[in-house]
Structure 1
Amino acid sequence: MPPSNRPSAGSNRRLHRLIIAKLPLHSTACWRNWAATQAIMRTRQPLAHFALCALFWLCLSTTNTPAADSSNHWAFQPLAPQMIPSGKNVSRIQNPVDAFIVARLEAAGLQLAPGAPPPALLRRISFDLTGLPPTTEEYKPSASSIQHCIDALLASPQFGERWGRWWLDAVGYVDVLNLDNDPGNLTVAADKWRYRDYVVDAFNTDLPFDQFLLEQLAGDELTDWRNAESLTSETRRLLIATGFLRVAPDDTDVDELNTPDVHQTILQTTAENLAANLFGLTLNCARCHDHKYEPITQRDYFGFLAYFAPAYQSRGWLRPKDRVVTDLPKSAQAAHAKQIAALDAETDVLKKTQQTIRDRYRDQLLEARLPRVPAELRDEAKAAARTPFEKRSEEQRRLVGRFERLLRVTTDEVRAALTAADKAEWERLDKEIAAVNARRPVPPQIHAVFDTAAAPAPVHVLRRGEFDQPVEAVSPAMFSVLRPASAANPSAHAGATTGRRLALAQQLTAPNSPAAALLARVLMNRAWQQLFGRGLVDTSANLGFSGARPTHPELLDWLAGEFIRHGWRLKPIIRLIVTSSTYQQSSSATGSPVLARAQQADPGNDLLWHQRLRRLESEQVRDSLLAVSGVLNLRAGGPPVLTELRPDGTFAITSEALRHWANARACGCSRAARPWLSPANPPSPASATRW
């Protein structure tokens, strides 16, 4: 049934943009339906929204197949030289960015809004480049001081923290290892913050993005770190960079979750996050079948996974605590290993005593539950429950999984059943184990990704995506729609490694390759989004067939080309955009007949006749309050400032951290929500926010 009330204008406009983005790809029948829908909308009837929805699904159904000519889709085209247009109002054209915008405005009979007042402009630039308000010394009225402030802000340490934070949010960086569903029981990863500092430093030094990507995908394959006597600062930096591939939730430290299906999920999540952030393509559908909306086959999907399989293969799987590189000289590693072995022997004795108590109470609890298991399965179920997880057969694992709520006895359940004497003994053993662990030396560690075998197991296409239903074997390969005529073949590099990820990184930024063109478009669209609130392509996480079309395709391609011509450096592009009249115009959309006419002609501001009004982000709100109060600590780098869960359910920054008032980007980050920022909708690393 159609809705009984007329939907909001904003809701209709969003559907309008989606349909307009798709119509050029569809049949004339869609255009006829679109004309009818427009007529319904003009009547302002409640049926309008229903008609828009129906037409949108009609548009989807006409391209619900990868058979559409993928070679003609704009995002997959090579970058062609773009001629900079000339406009009539040359006084507002400060650089080529303005030339493209003004040309479209003049074609529609519109013009840029007046420039923003210098104080408002300075505030906008300061928040966009550093996430902080300008200082009182920076408030100067002259245009020359604006240019000086832009250069100073781009060179400030806070620039890397601000723009690096977006990259970290995009890849889903957190300071913990596991899913952290229980905020009171987080496993903070020691030294994982080193990757965060690497990213911030890369943005501050304007590390070329092709090198930035190469180091993150294959830093371990650029140096023979396994055979080095000790790690040099450069080797250490390259290994830290691979933390880029360590952001997927990994709970395999828990025995019950250290299984092949979980291993496969971690591998898939790693590859899917990477593809979505670098290519702006939705990849998940191709896990089970050929993609319905994008030119990505299931074979493409698993060929892409094969690049990362040597580091994440199920056979010889490394748990999170073992997927590290110990930053010790080889001469000291033997003594360190001996010391650890001696401490392990002490804790093993204590844990064995504790396990004896646990087994006794586990058996008592099991005996009470077994009558609820079918009689013919009780003996087998009892034996399976008593068998250690790693020693269970496949049949025993299936049986325990079937009756998990009956057969699985948790440590908390055992604790609750302990007698007073056994509880005292248990607590004594806990204290002794903690005392031994306190003597355990913890050398610096690097959370890195590296191949676990030079000859990895083959990767197969999985029928319907099921990990235990392999079909045909595949070799590592880029998606066919992005595959260059001659791709780099994986070969052995720098010791015991396959070279697969290195070959992938080289393909992604190879000159004139389809992948490099798409990558540059994605990055420039997201940079534009950070400065204007919306990208030139509205669906910044999806530049494929099912995404929107660019409002200014020539400008997007010109920016992508400039980005590559500037050596994949981001700061020159940001400087170019923020010095343009388009960026510096007022955000006011009212106050004159010219603006009123523009509001009628382009209510969605797609042509950028005024700067978009944007609210401050959650972290900016918090840090601004501290900055204007004069108590914000701008320290950069180092371990995160952790929060603690109070008994009443609220979170608090620890008292030591409270004395320093660290900025929000230094506060510990987990996939769980941060209630102290939630009123302003902070990014959620739980799903790897797409910029």
Structure 2
Amino acid sequence: MRRNLTYALLALMLGGLIMVILKKKITGARTGSGEVSYNYEVRPILSDKCFACHGPDANKREAGLRLDMAESAYAKLKDGKGFAIVPGDPEASEVYRRITSADPGYVMPTPESHLSTLNEDEILVLKKWITQGAKYEPHWAFTVPVQQPLPEVDNPDWIKNEIDRFTLSEMEGLGLSPNEEADRAQLLKRLSIDLTGLAPSLELQQKFLDDDSENAYEKVVDELMSQKAYGERMALHWLDVARFADSYGYQNDDARTQWAWRDWVIHAFNSNMPYDRFVTWQLAGDLLPDANKEHILATAFLRNHKITEEDGVIPEEYRVEYHLDKTRTFTSGLLGLTVECAQCHDHKYDPVSQEDYYRLFAFFNSSREKGFDGSAGSGPAKTPVLTISNTEVKNLFSFINAPDTSQIVVSVMGESETPPATHVLNRGVYDALGKVVTAGALPAVMKFDSLKYPKNRLGLAQWTVAKENPLTARVFVNQVWQEIFGQGLVKSTGDFGMQGDLPSHPALLDWLAVDFMNHGWNIKRLVKQLVVSATYRQSSKTTREKQEKDPENIYLSRGVRTRVPAELIRDIVLSTSGLLNPEIGGPSVKPYQPKGIWEATTANRGSLARYVQDTDGLLYRRGLYTFIKLTLPPPAMIIFDASNRDHCEVKRQRTNTPLQALVMLNDPTVLEASRVLAERMSTRTIPLDKQITELFRRIVCRNPTANEIELLTDYYHTELATFSKDRKKAQTVLNVGDHLHEAHYEVSRAAALMRTISTIYNMEETITKS
């Protein structure tokens, strides 16, 4: 174990060293002319080392000096003794003298700041920048995206569309070359998972393999995108952004009925609603001039936050908390900014003041929402609510799956006739009222023209989707790229600010953002652009050279290899076994869950005091529909890094733990799927090798190798010998899950085949997109 730990630490150190080398190569490639880039080389250093004390936060600013603004950095210092930065003369610049000093009483950053001193490379960058004139540039994310000419490349024959010109140009700059196209089986599985979240059926696999036409690939893309499952796959990420859950959260965690909004989201993606309209309806559908109930339903997006049902709370405290949550969701999910620290003080790194924050908060503070609207069990929705009748489901809301219900009640938005004044809250405390402010969007992003936009949520929505807004299109394009390629062009998906990661392909990101807006914010068109590119179609094989030059595959010289999201693991198991209930939409369901774990987290009151497992077809719904209780999200999904949905999340973490292997080995759904498939296959009179080949194709989505067939055959015979001697043990193994057993099957053969199928499900490749 000690040796393994040593190897792991060495690998980690080597990986860090490679990234440092790579970063230097990338920087050199970007500044080949010798000119230092402020955005790519200088600002990250200043942001890490200087802005905490010399940045936007006036309350924490030392010596009245701002280094994030040229006019302040060039001005005479407050004590009258020199200048922080003298363009062209680093030796006369107080900044340079202090970062190179060895005097602990003079050096910057100061020892008390607990920030590390600048290293030799960082000092050289700042010295060169000052020597070259210390030119400041606006933060890249706050400038309106512009399409640059498509790059010239050495290998134009590889290109399928415009995306490939940008990626290939970067590869060639680093001395990398793209991989060959993935084989058809691998490519179809990747495509099916990305577009539907399901493994391709045997029929679709054969159809694609047999299609020799030039546009075979594009035809299968169109076929997959036309399926209703496309909307479910696309909705999954948006539910994370919208922090969708089926309970209120907090201690008295009772059920609520927001699921009709989820049905609307699926419908919106399937009907290819333009993104600007998709956003506008969710932010302000109730304020549209021709607002109907569908517009109002869309605003449930803003009401998916946690809501208290605990007696004795201070209503105003929670009313403010709900609107703070809306503000965080808006900025992180739609603008890709982390502005929540401005709740208490001016932002330390981004040009967002506390007053700016509360002016944004004011858009939501006019809601009729209450801080306390009844204790546990007081209802499935909170004021304001939208009630949808059965008649309206049949006419206006045909996309809502509403079985056996007289009406649906959803928490939505609605404006107060007499909205309270919005104050800057000192230290962010709900009752520490400061200056009164009026509604206004973030000026650092784009001016909010009150003559052009009304000072309400509809005005905020219009400001958000204006083509002049530098963030909205970039942020959404980046999120879609992340879902397809596993990592965004901006790695910090929720932070496009000063402390966020720089885009790996800035020209590509801007080109896609402008193209997206110019083509009507068409989401399906964007998704198709990504998946038909040669960049997407590459094999995921790698080489030592590629691992050394680009270990994280930032420059996309190979295909993606990542584990599928938690919900899709369930979907793959259910769809490949034949258990999947393909019904679209409807209330959330409660599948198998460890006994007692639910009750241990409840207050023993309300409708969720006990876990009541669903039965029949409801047990086999897609992972998207699994009931999410905020105080206890689905355990198996959380183990596979699903969002716990208690806040807006635009990027899931990705971990590898032994618990994940234990889930795949022991989860009742996986075992039941293995059992059902085994019983069905064991009744068929075909040779074992053909059975194993078909099972492998069904689950892994490719033909097994001769060695894989041999290993699985040997394992089957070993298990068959065991179960033939102990039929009672075989019966025990098969006694899993609620699905009915097949009418005629041989117990020992079925048990042995079940173990073999379970082994295939436990292959890493089964739940990996590669």
In the superposition, the TM-score normalised over structure 1's length comes to: 0.70
Task: Report the alpha carbon displacement of residue 160 of structure 1 after superposing the two structures with TM.
Answer: 0.6
The residue that corresponds to 1:535 in the other structure is 488
Q: Judge conservation of contact 1:163–1:203 (CA < 8 Å) in 2.
A: yes
Q: Which residue matches 1:687? A: 647
* Contact 2:389/2:406 (<8 A) preserved: no
Partner of residue 187 from structure 1, selected from 239, 254, 260 = 254
C-alpha deviation, 1:318, in angstroms: 9.0
Give the counterpart letter for 1:521 in structure 2: R
SS at structure 2 position matched to 1:510: coil
Instruction: Give the corresponding residue for 1:548.
Output: 501
Distance of 2:289 and 2:330 partners within structure 1:
23
Amino acid at match of 2:484: L
2:372 and 2:246 mapped to 1: Cα distance? Answer: 25
- For each residue in 1:170-226, what CA deviation from the matched residue of structure 2 results, as whole angstroms up to 9, or x when unmatched? 1211112233x5xxx742213x1111011111111110111111111111112577x
- CA 1:86–1:168 in 2, change beyond 3 Å: closer, same or farther? same
Pair 1:311-2:372 in alignment:
no
Is contact 1:326-1:443 (8 Å) kept? yes
SS at match of 2:478: helix
Give matches, 1:452-471, under 5 Å: 452-453=416-417, 455-471=418-434
Picking from 424, 438, 445, the partner of 1:482 is: 445
What's 1:241 paired with?
298
Q: Within 2, Cα distance between the matches of 1:32 and 1:559?
A: 43
Pairwise mapping of residues 155-170 of structure 1 onto structure 2 (< 5 A)?
155-170=226-241
C-alpha distance in structure 2 between counterparts of 1:10 and 1:274, whole Å: 35
Q: For residues 674 and 327 of structure 1, do their structure 2 counterparts lie closer, same or farther at Cα, with a shift above 3 Å needed?
A: closer
Q: Compute the displacement of 1:688 (Å).
A: 2.2
Task: State the partner residue of 1:91.
Answer: 157
Equivalent residue in structure 1 for 2:194, among 109, 128, 143? 128
Does 671-680 or 196-205 show the bigger shift?
A: 671-680
Evaluate the alpha carbon distance shift between residue 54 and residue 81 of structure 1 in structure 2; reply closer, same or farther with a 3 A threshold: same
Q: 1:510 aligns with which of 463, 466, 482?
A: 466
Provide the C-alpha distance between the structure 2 equivalents of 1:282 and 1:69, rounded to a whole number of angstroms. 26
Unaligned 5+ runs, structure 2: 28-38, 47-89, 101-113, 127-133, 376-380, 391-404, 600-610, 652-770
* TM-superposition CA deviations, 1:142-163 (whole Å, max 9, x none): 4633221100111111111011
In structure 2, the residue matched to 1:174 is: 245
Counterpart amino acid of residue 431 in structure 2:
D
Q: Give the stretch that moved more between structures: 81-90 or 550-559.
A: 81-90
Distance in 2 (CA, whole Å) between partners of 1:218 and 1:638 is 24
Q: Could you say which residue in structure 2 is the equivalent of 1:9?
A: 14
SS in 1 for 2:620: coil
Q: Deviations over 1:319-366 (max 9, x none)?
A: 95333133469xxxxxxxxxxxxxxxxxxxxxxxxxxxxxxxxxxxxx
Q: 1:298 aligns with which of 354, 362, 368?
A: 354
What is the alpha-carbon distance in structure 1 between the residues aligned to residue 573 and residue 592 of structure 2?
22
Checking the alignment, whether the CA contact within 8 Å between 2:473 and 2:513 is kept in structure 1 is yes
Change (3 A) 1:279 1:615: same
Letter in 2 for 1:129: L
Partners of 1:245 and 1:270 within 8 A in 2: yes
* Matched AA of 1:241: A
Count of residue pairs the alignment pairs up: 528
Contact persistence 1:220–1:450 (CA under 8 A): yes
Aligned residue for 2:444, secondary structure, equals helix
1:137 and 2:203 matched = yes
**Contact 1:171/1:244 (<8 A) preserved:** yes
2:675 is matched with none
Query: What residue identity is the alignment partner of 2:237?
Result: W
| Contact preservation (8 Å) 1:171, 1:690 | no
Equivalence for 1:24:
42
Q: Paired residue for 1:445?
A: 409
On the 8 A contact 1:70/1:481 being kept in 2, the answer is: no
Given that 1:113 and 1:610 are in contact with CA atoms closer than 8 Å, whether structure 2 keeps it comes out as yes
Q: Distance in 1 between matches of 2:593 and 2:526?
A: 42
Please tell me the residue identity of whatever aligns with 2:641: N
Q: Distance in 2 between matches of 1:599 and 1:460?
A: 53
1:294 touches 1:544 (CA, 8 Å); kept in 2? yes
Q: Given that residues 368 and 383 in structure 2 are in contact (C-alpha distance below 8 angstroms), is that contact kept between their aligned partners in structure 1?
A: no
More helix by proportion, 1 or 2? Answer: 1
Tell me the CA shift for residue 670 of structure 1: 2.7
SS at match of 2:521: coil
- Mapped to 2, the partners of 1:217 and 1:275 lie a distance apart of 12
Instruction: Report the CA distance between 1:649 and its aligned residue.
Output: 2.4
CA contact (8 A) 1:290 1:298 kept: yes
Deviations 1:229-283 (A, max 9, x none): xxxxxx12111101011011110x3331242122211111111111111111101
Aligned equivalents of 1:109, 1:536: Cα separation in 2: 20
Partner of 1:406: none
Q: Distance in 1 between matches of 2:305 and 2:650?
A: 14
| Gaps in structure 1 of 5+ consecutive residues | 36-50, 226-234, 330-440, 492-498, 591-595
Instruction: Give the aligned partner of residue 654 of structure 1.
Output: 613
Secondary structure of the residue that 1:534 maps to in structure 2?
coil
Specify whether residues 621 and 94 from structure 1 end up closer, same or farther in structure 2 by C-alpha distance, changes over 3 A only.
Answer: same
Q: Retained in 2: the 8 A contact 1:643–1:653?
A: no
CA offsets per residue over residues 120-140 of structure 1, 9 Å max, x none?
A: 011001111111111112212
Displacement after TM superposition at 1:33 (Å): 13
Structure 2 residue aligned with 1:570? 523
Matched, 1:602 2:550: yes
Secondary structure at the counterpart of residue 483 of structure 2: helix
Q: CA deviation at 1:457?
A: 1.6
Query: Residue in 2 aligned with 1:323?
Result: 384
1:561 matched to 2:537? The reply is no
1:614 maps to a residue whose letter is T
Instruction: Check conservation: 2:359, 2:439, Cα contact below 8 A.
Output: yes
SS at match of 1:307: helix
Structure 1 residues 22 and 16: alpha-carbon distance in aligned structure 2, compared to 1, 3 A threshold: farther
Instruction: Name the counterpart of 1:111.
Output: 177
Tell me if structure 1 keeps the 8 A contact 2:369–2:384. Answer: no
Deviates more, 1:75-84 or 1:646-655: 646-655
Query: Paired residue for 1:204, among 260, 263, 270?
Result: 270
Is residue 313–residue 457 contact of structure 1 (8 Å, CA) maintained in 2? no
The answer (yes or no) to whether the contact 2:318–2:372 under 8 Å persists in 1 is no
TM-score, normalised to structure 2, is 0.63
SS in structure 1 of the partner of residue 416 of structure 2? coil
- Using the alignment, how far apart are the partners of 1:465 and 1:536 within structure 2? 33
Matching residue of 1:334: none
- For 1:645 and 1:108, locate their aligned partners in 2 and report how far apart those are by CA, in whole Å: 49
2:106 paired residue number: none
Deviates more, 1:521-530 or 1:478-487: 478-487
**Residue identity matched to 1:121:** L
| Structure 1, 11-20 or 296-305: larger mean CA deviation | 11-20
Distance 1:463 1:609, change over 3 A: same
Q: In the alignment, what sits opposite 1:627?
A: 575
1:621 & 1:327 partners in 2: Cα distance? 33
- Contact 1:161-1:665 at 8 Å conserved across structures: yes
Query: How high is the sequence identity, in percent, across the aligned residues?
Result: 29
> Are the equivalent residues in 2 in contact too, given 1:487–1:507 (CA < 8 A)?
no
Q: Distance in 2 between matches of 1:205 and 1:266?
A: 31
Offset at residue 611 of structure 1 (A): 1.5
Instruction: Identify which range, 214-223 or 656-665, moves more after superposition.
Output: 656-665
Alpha-carbon separation, structure 1, partners of 2:592 and 2:18: 43
Code of the residue aligned with 1:464 in structure 2: it is: R
Q: Is the 8 A contact 1:22 1:59 kept in 2?
A: no
Larger relative contact order, structure 1 or 2 (CA cutoff 8 Å, min sep 6) = 1
